[in-house]
Structure 1
């Protein structure tokens, strides 16, 4: 009996040691950073990393380049290259065809709708309608959503930006909060989608930093200051990265886009705002080192899109460039179709994101054939030499266009929310206002100036290095999720890069 008892004890102890060893191995395998910080710089062309390199200090962009892993050849693989789509694609690892955000504005239930509009919620922290927003139009999960799921919803996820869409869409559906500026008050607000009352730390922040005009915030370095300060306040107020559960903070610097639109890519104003941003990044990195611990947080920096060089500047130096007037084109096309089919009803709703939206309700009520209307519309548009291609979005694969452009059109086409016909302009041609071609710029097309973006990882488990291998915007979410051992978002089509 004693022998059997001894054998049983030995087996029990052995089993316990094996079990403990397995649990220890699992714990080691699930080692994660304390905090994931996703930074998006709105309208940051890839070449801004180098154009102002000599003006940057050592702690911001240069630190990213020297200490981080730099994916030099990261491209956006869809159109349109605009803010809402970019922020959605970064954090879902997906494309408009799947995640459903087909533009800053898009067609939902027959109406042109803002990407984050939600009439079922109300503003928190403001009496205006600026908080009637939510992520409900986004059809897939984000990195933050998957982190929530992986931690049984114990992780905290917060989104910060001046712009509502740049805060709401990155944070995802299950985020604890997203905060953005109400331009009527100059303060950070949120939506009843997330909470019923602003936290005390947000109210305190608004008293200290709020009350400025939209011009003072969005078109000056104060916007950078306010965004960085709010990010720090969120870390302090929500104790992000302060326990054993990984949290996530998404931060989008938006005044770079506002200034870029107004002054263009080679202006003193855009140079100044990026030099200022460099200082804010250096300060933020230093703060994270002290608060979270150097090497204890995983940080990435990227952009939602780039920007075209100004038309007038290019023309001055003999480079082909021209403006495109969407409203004028839509009216002229509508007039042609009315005459062609002998009807009075409006057959073209609008041109948005270089998509021609036909009036399906009118076409159906007049018993017209949609394919025939599209055929004549395409034939008319093709007469204009400014358009490289004009494509029926339901039949993209039948179009004689380069594969790289075809892929971007397919990825950008959501059958319920996009238009009927895609106009692809000649290079360096872009949409301008009815006032004419000014000193500013815009973005939205497939070309490298709009689609080549930075993507740099730094911090937890990241060794310095770089790659020129082809990377897409979708690979960002796939890479971050692989690094922290969580499932990639449910619409992700990206691949994790090899670090």
Structure 2
């Protein structure tokens, strides 16, 4: 009798423990990347936010207030890849959005795949895949762990924002084809045709083209600059970059559906699409964890167009707060408040418009890369007797032609050293790194470590130059990004939901720490190139 009772007790306890373990594992992971979101936007516009969006995440989740990227260049492609692989471009290989491929002797795009075919649209817009990303993502690891029962979907306005986070094994990724198409599309890397629910959604995208006015009275937007200024591009067909914007009237001069991209209505459309996906693909409805990656791209388009200090960017984030609130409410009702875990971050920040900074007596400026490239070729020709020693230029990387070096009997070290001193003396260039320095140095400074973390030995150049703070190679309106300065590297990071502690922290963390933290929560293997660390503070 005692043995039977003991055995029954053990079985009950064992089942209880297993049930507890199972219930603690979220049914759905939602990863949100807000493209070009500076950390300060969470606080700068906070008084305009509702209690159900950004504030809910900040107050009820784990809010890491000192999170940075640890490499350059800080672009969209490398940012998304680094967040989800838990490492840097030195490992995952996405060194930029576009880069010069010295093996193909041409510029390549980070997700371009000529072996793939477009699904849902004619032409090249869907010829995309993650094949250039060398490591697995956290979503890939979850697929492997669940024997591919756990589903993965990625959505974004940008193709790279949908593809790189979802990884190599996603069930599908969807991104928005603008122009005359105005629909979400995909690639046959994932699927053979668009599902019925996607086709149905695509029939109604015209509804998002409307008049853009500020959500609240514009005079209350005291956290941003004047609506009328000299630092914004605006839209073709409108003489000033000022509210309101009649998108229906302007769309024909702005490539039709492309006009949505720098507006908050594309964020709303993406949120609606994500919610339809959750419902139609039954995400979070069984014991195998699913993944949904969402990348809000319109914030980046707006920043490039209007600048980080614009009324347009402020209204964009106030409206995005409502999208986040709507998404959280949808997850509560359809997945269950205790059944999902979400994180929110950004792929990079952005610099103030340099002309604006200069007006305020802050050092800043613009850099003519084409002028430099011409000067470099002239210098190399004069010093070494050949104008062909430099094969290509890309993202402040200089690529050598090694066949020409051998033919001209020029030593690689001699060319590197000559360009090092030439570039250091060039106006508005702050630092210079050669391949030899990057590969053989101990990288004792944060700057050199960031350069090394962004350097892939087979894909990066032979000499890299870094511009001075707030100096950009860009038109003289709008904002951009790409440096290792804090305005580009510091981004929000919030974990929220099942298994996450409610806490705020000023501890220093890096973007590459997100993936190991999520896999620790799930109890699965890390992505195969991970170099980040688990943020143990996050987990209950």
The equivalent position to 1:200 in structure 2, one of 192, 196, 199, is 196
Residues in 2 aligned to 1:114 and 1:121: alpha-carbon distance in whole angstroms: 14
Q: How does 1:60-99 map to 2 (within 5 A)?
A: 60-99=53-92
Residues 417-472 of structure 1: per-residue CA shift (max 9 Å, x gap): 11111212221112224xxxx22111001010000010001111223211000100
Distance (whole Å) between structure 1 residues aligned to residue 381 and residue 526 of structure 2: 48
1:52 to 29, 34, 45: 45
CA distance in 1: counterparts of 2:388 and 2:289, whole angstroms: 56
Partner residue in 1 for 2:31: 38
Q: Displacement of 1:398 after TM fit?
A: 6.3
1:375 aligns with 2:390: no
CA deviations on 1:157-186 (whole Å, 9 max, x unpaired) are 000000000000000000101101122311
Q: CA deviation at 1:324?
A: 1.6
User: Would you say the 8 A contact 2:178–2:258 is kept in 1?
Assistant: no
Matched with 1:190 is: 186
Matches within 5 A, 1:225-240: 225-240=268-283
Match of residue 448 from structure 1: 486
Deviation at 1:203, TM superposition (A): 0.6
The answer on 1:484 being equivalent to 2:522 is: yes
2:225 counterpart residue number = none
Q: Secondary structure at the match of 1:130?
A: coil
Structure-2 separation of matches of 1:491 and 1:466: 29
Q: Counterpart in 2 of 1:311?
A: 354
Is residue 100–residue 392 contact of structure 2 (8 Å, CA) maintained in 1?
A: no
Does the 8 Å contact 1:161/1:181 carry over to 2? yes
- Give unmatched runs, 5+ long, in structure 2: 210-255
Which deviates more from structure 2 when the two are superposed, residues 26-35 or residues 209-218?
Answer: 209-218
What SS does the corresponding residue of 2:399 show, helix, strand or coil? strand
Q: Does 1:171 align with 2:163?
A: no
| Residue among 447, 456, 459 paired with 2:497 | 459
Hey, what's the Cα distance between the residues in 2 that align with 1:165 and 1:416? 21
SS in structure 2 opposite 1:454? strand
Q: Secondary structure at the match of 1:129?
A: coil
Structure 2 residue matching 1:73: 3-state secondary structure: strand
Q: How does 1:108-127 map to 2 (within 5 A)?
A: 108=101, 109-110=103-104, 111-127=106-122
Structure-2 separation of matches of 1:237 and 1:316: 52
Distance in 2 separating the partners of 1:275 and 1:322:
30
**Which consecutive unaligned segments of at least 5 residues does structure 1 have?**
1-5
SS of 1:167 mapped into structure 2: helix
Which residue number corresponds to residue 260 of structure 1? 303
Matched, 1:154 2:149: yes
State which drifts further: 318-327 or 171-180.
Answer: 318-327
Match of 2:447 among 405, 411, 414: 405
Preserved contact between residue 396 and residue 466 of structure 2 (Cα < 8 Å): yes
How has the CA–CA distance of structure 1 residues 26 and 249 changed in structure 2, closer, same or farther, with 3 Å as cutoff? same
Relative to structure 1, is the Cα distance of residues 147 and 401 closer, same or farther in structure 2, using a 3 angstrom cutoff?
A: closer
Write the deviation string for residues 358-378 of structure 1: whole angstroms up to 9, x where unpaired: 333433444432222111111
Q: Measure, in 2, the Cα distance between the counterparts of 1:84 and 1:75.
A: 16
CA distance in 2, matches of 1:385, 1:369: 27
Q: For residues 401 and 238 of structure 1, what CA distance do their matches in structure 2 show?
A: 47
Tell me, yes or no, if the aligned pair for 1:391 and 1:399 is still in contact at 8 Å. Answer: no
- For the residues of structure 1 that align with 2:443 and 2:356, how far apart are their CA atoms? 29
2:368 and 2:441 mapped to 1: Cα distance?
24
Deviation at 1:354, TM superposition (A): 2.1
CA RMSD in angstroms comes to 2.0
Separation in 2, partners of 1:364, 1:331: 23
Map of 1:145 onto structure 2: 140
Whole-angstrom distance in 1 between the partners of 2:12 and 2:367: 67
Q: For residues 25 and 156 of structure 2, what CA distance do their matches in structure 1 show?
A: 26
Equivalent pair of 2:36/2:346 in contact (CA under 8 Å) = yes
Cα distance 1:336–1:474, how it changes in 2: closer, same or farther (>3 A)?
same
**TM-score (normalised: structure 2):** 0.86
1:115-139 Cα distance to aligned partner (Å, 9 max, x none): 0011111000011111110011111
Distance 2:8 2:465 in 1: 67
Mapped contact 2:380–2:387 kept (Cα < 8 A): no
